[in-house]
Amino acid sequence: MSLTTVILAAGKGTRMKSSIPKVLHKIANKPIVEHIIETVQALECSSINLVYGHGAEQLQSALSEYSLNWCLQEEQLGTGHAVMQAMSFIDDNEDVLILVGDAPLISTDTLRSLIQAKKNCALALLTVNMDDPTGMGRIIREKGNITAIVEHKDATEQQRKITEINTGIMIMNGADLRRWLGDLSNENAQNEYYLTDVISMAAAEGKTIGSAQPFWNKEVEGINNRLQLATLERALQEKIAEGLMLEGVTLADPKRIDVRGELSVGTDVHIDVNVVFEGEVHISDDVSIGPNCVLKNCNISAGTKVQAFSHIENANIGESCIIGPYARLRPGTVLGNNAKIGNFVETKKARIGNESKVNHLSYIGDAVVGEKVNIGAGTITCNYDGVNKSQTTIGDSVFVGSNSALVAPVKLGNSVTIGAGSVVTKNVDDNELAIGRSKQRNIANWERPVKRNKD
């Protein structure tokens, strides 16, 4: 049977105290609702219906890359009313998986087990046992069979003792859902149209109601305030850290790593404390990452050492390189094998060949550097004239003396030597020495100035 999904995300999220809609707040740098959309996409459902209410423009621009049916719920009259707004997109003969929009950690495995539970019944609920179920809808069972959900505010003292609660995630057939929604009323403690009332309607029709439980309780925790946002962020990061360690990565401290994207790793990778990974990062075998580094959308090849406080973005790093401490590799940096980028060196759109070194205090931008090149301390590629960017090309085995300025566009051939302190404005051919600095004068018997008497 084909499957469609409804994500309920019209709630205002008042407790976030924010100008952006609750579901756009981020976990692992991705909006809460995007986590859910991507999880349900993996189920290969025919459509995703998003019920929204607040911040339409912000939501639509943030989620423009997804194919969604946008269902406006102008007034938040309850979860049942919210689902009604999606019904025009839903066929009678498909199964409808309903999810809450504020529980980002729900997994495809858990949803698959709920879908499985629905196979032998008319409706299946994802339930969980909570030590403190205050505020939640309680699952009412008779002789083990689910017969109703009673909301906390409507529950008796006795019912409030029940610890099995409704996560808000459920699945049923489209035609049943349409029929039951038609019979909802808002005569309850909150004057809302409760989606949860469909359970007793199903039971009254003699239908069987199945249930499933999440693999991990955090999967069904919702976010209502920033405390819960931070709690789930940590829970997710701990889980990612656990996964990495089980894959064979050594983490100096599993509580001090943040993965905000996709991190893939080889064997015997070592990651020190406070490293942040963003976007897609691949780290090959025997790589070590020092403390306090940020790595974003980059590839680090085998045997490379990234030392403390380095920052690498949109870069491709070869094998057995040594980077940092305190290096900044900006977008478009490509390093060959055995290259070295040392402290306070910034690179941008720079290809640096095998065994080349830029060890101290340099800026190398819009440059192609050959193999076995040594760039002395303080060398700058002057790539910008205030209007245009120009290219610096450096051949193999070049030695650039310290504190040189290579004024682009400029080309240095192979085995060129540049005298320290040069300002290089003209191309230099293979094997030439270029010195572009004022000549030193020595003045004999120089008398130093003496301090004047104050009168």
DSSP 8-state code for residue 439: P
| Segment interacting with ligand UD1 (CB under 6 A) among 8-16, 226-234, 312-320, 436-444 | 8-16
Q: Whole-number minimum distance, CB 20 to ligand UD1, in Å? A: 14
Identity of the residue, 196 or 338, whose beta carbon is nearer to ligand UD1 in the bound complex: 196
Among 39, 79, 211, 393, binds ligand UD1 (CB under 6 A): 79
Task: Please report the beta strands in 92-242, taking only residues with DSSP state E, as ranges in sequence order.
Answer: 95-100, 123-129, 138-142, 145-150, 164-173, 209-212
CA atoms within 13 A on the CB side of 46: 11
Q: Which of 129, 139, 9 is nearest to 63 (CA)?
A: 9
**Least CB distance from residue 40 to ligand UD1, whole Å?**
14
Dihedral of CA atoms 210, 216, 219, 220 in degrees, nearest 10, equals 50
The residue within the footprint of ligand UD1, chosen from 21, 31, 55, 137 (CB under 6 A), is: 137
- Of positions 146, 165, 209, 428, contacts ligand UD1 by CB under 6 A: 165
Number of residues that bind ligand UD1 (CB under 6 A): 27
Amino acid at 101: G
Nearer to ligand UD1, 49 or 166 (CB): 166
Contact pattern from residue 35 through residue 74 relative to ligand UD1, giving x for each residue in contact according to CB under 6 A and a dash for the rest: ----------------x---------------------x-
The distance of closest approach from Cβ of residue 104 to ligand UD1 in the complex, given in angstroms and rounded to an integer, is 11
Residue in 3, 11, 98, 348 binding ligand UD1, rule: CB under 6 A: 11
* CB of 87 vs ligand UD1, minimal distance in Å: 14
The single residue among 168, 214, 336, 365 that binds ligand UD1, judged by CB under 6 A, is: 168
Region near ligand UD1 per CB under 6 A, out of 79-87, 287-295, 299-307, 396-404: 79-87
Q: Whose CB is nearest to ligand UD1?
A: 137
10 is an interface residue for ligand UD1 by CB under 6 A: yes
Residue pair 176/199 in contact (Cβ under 8 Å)? The answer is no
Q: What is the DSSP string of 11-69?
A: ---GGG--SS-GGGSEETTEEHHHHHHHHHHTTT-SEEEEEE-S-HHHHHHHTTTS--E
| Cβ proximity to ligand UD1, 11 vs 353, nearer residue | 11
Q: Is 329 in the site for ligand UD1 (CB under 6 A)?
A: no
- Of 292, 288, 259, 286, give the one whose Cα is nearest residue 271: 288
Q: Answer yes or no whether residue 392 interacts with ligand UD1 by CB under 6 A.
A: no
**Residues 429, 426: Cα–Cα separation, whole Å:** 10
- For residue 352, CA distances in Å to 324, 345, 358 come to 15, 13, 9
Confirm or reject binding of residue 213 to ligand UD1 (CB under 6 A): no
Q: How far apart are CA 285 and CA 281, in angstroms?
A: 13
| Candidate list 180, 194, 277, 363; residue touching ligand UD1; CB under 6 A | 194
d(CA 236, CA 41): 20
| Least distance from ligand UD1 to the Cβ atom of residue 408, Å | 55
Window contacting ligand UD1 (CB under 6 A); options: 4-12, 179-187, 337-345, 420-428: 4-12
Question: Among 190-198, 208-216, 257-265, 444-452, which window interacts with ligand UD1 (CB under 6 A)?
Answer: 190-198
CA 82 – CA 22 distance, rounded (Å): 16
Cα dihedral value 394, 400, 404, 408, nearest 10: -10
Distance between CA atoms of residues 284 and 299, nearest Å: 8
| Dihedral Cα 80, 83, 88, 89, nearest 10 deg | -160
CA 266 to chain centre: 20
Q: Would you please indicate which residues are annotated as catalytic (active-site) residues?
A: 360
Cα–Cα dist 25/32, whole Å: 6
Of 137 and 365, CB closest to ligand UD1: 137
298-317 residues near ligand UD1, rule: CB under 6 A: none
- Print the binding letters for residues 92-131 with ligand UD1: x by CB under 6 A, - otherwise: --------xxx-----------------------------
136 binds ligand UD1 (CB under 6 A): yes
Q: In the complex, which residues of this chain contact ligand UD1 (CB under 6 A)?
A: 8-11, 51, 73, 76-79, 81-82, 100-102, 136-137, 149, 151, 165-168, 194-196, 222
